[in-house]
Homo-oligomer: A and B are copies of this chain.
Amino acid sequence: MTKKASGLVAVARLAGVSTATVSNVLNRPELVAPATRERVVAALDELDYVRSGAAVALRTGTSRLVGLVVPDITNPFYAAIAEGVTAAADDAGYSVALCVNHDDPARERRQFELLAQQRAAGALVVPLSAGSSRLSTLRRVGTHLVLVDRIAERDEGCSVAIDDVLGGRLAVRHLLALRGPRIALVNGPRTIEQCANRRAGARKELRRSGVDPDTMTELTVEEMTIDAGRRAGNALAAAGGVDGVFCTNDQLATGVIRGLADAGVRVPDDAAVVGYGDLALATDGPLPLTTVSQPKLLMGRTAVETLVREIGDQVDGGREHQHSATLFQPSLVVRDSAPAT
């Protein structure tokens, strides 16, 4: 079929030059005379030359591979991040090693170990639960880290996140304007940072509007699923006294709407519901859902760019690298035109 030869040496021989020259036309073409360069290029594709990433990695100590560590790739939120990451990585000439850990430390350890072995140039990690100690395996081999959807603490590294406090404020501001102060919050475990922040934003906005945050009805669910939301909706309907519900993700919001409907409370007529995330569910679900939209693709893209910049910094001067923490703003997407009272 195709030629079987491979390696710089074969190319060098065919072009009548040394391997060093071939290497140069590959990496720093400007250093080699146009004439020879042409001969080499000819030989290169005459032989169907394919660089050995392994050899390069061995020699240079780093590969063009970045790890993407997510809890669950079937979750559309993480899938969207992955989309942005792969796109940006493509542009930068990196491969993306997808590591799905299901929040399982054992799995995660093995994956980190593999990344370390491959001498990955870096890793983008989207942590579910916190715990920065887990990252040590990677650091050990000098892999650079970028935290995604979580603000890095001092010296933890770079991070790219979304301002969840602001998101919470936007949601509650909308509900306040639309329906007044009788607001409920349906939230996940507060040990999840995002949940804590969205709640903080909600309370902050209430306070700003002269409403005592403690008057807000709060329901906490273990799993942020549609089913859990439905139960919460049932409970809210039973208790009554609520005109607006802020749910900290779209699944919960979808469930809450159903749970309210079970009890005859109709959305948006009888109550307003706001979700969080702007997943496909918000448009494709039973009802167009008003929700806080996050720039997921952009976050993924930026994570890669941040990592690439960090790697560059390291290489080029040995100069001190300044960790950066990028924070994007969410925005409110109003989808149901709820008739105000």
Q: Is the CB of A52 within 8 A of B63?
A: no
Q: How far is the CA of A232 from the CA of B286 in the complex (A)?
A: 19
Q: Copy number in this complex?
A: 2
Q: Is A41 interfacial (CB 8 A cutoff)?
A: no
CB distance from A283 to the nearest CB of B (A): 8
Tell me the bound Cα distance from A53 to B65 in angstroms: 12
A86 nearest in chain B by CB position: B100
- A76-B76, A98-B82 known; A55 vs B58 contact (CB < 8 Å): yes
> Counting CB contacts under 8 A, is A141 at the interface?
yes
Residue of B nearest to A255 (CB): B284
By a CB distance below 8 angstroms, the chain B residues around A98 are 68, 82, 86, 96-98
Is A271 at the interface (CB under 8 A from chain B)? no
Docked Cα-Cα span, A140 to B4, in Å, equals 9
CB nearest neighbor in B for A72: B83
Contact (Cβ within 8 A) A117 B53: yes
Residues on B with beta carbons closer than 8 Å to the beta carbon of A114: 53, 64, 93, 95
- Provide the residues of chain B in CB contact with A111, threshold 8 Å: 90, 95
State how many angstroms separate the Cβ of A278 from the closest Cβ of chain B. Answer: 13
26 pairs, A vs B, C-beta closer than 8 Å: A50-B116, A51-B117, A53-B54, A53-B57, A53-B118, A53-B119, A54-B55, A55-B58, A58-B58, A65-B97, A65-B118, A73-B79, A74-B76, A74-B79, A86-B100, A90-B107, A90-B110, A90-B111, A93-B114, A95-B99, A95-B114, A95-B118, A96-B99, A97-B98, A251-B284, A281-B284
Show the binding face of A for B, using Cβ within 8 Å: 1-2, 48, 50-55, 57-58, 63-65, 68, 72-74, 76, 79-80, 82-83, 86-87, 90, 93, 95-100, 107, 110-111, 113-119, 140-141, 226, 251, 254, 280-281, 284-287
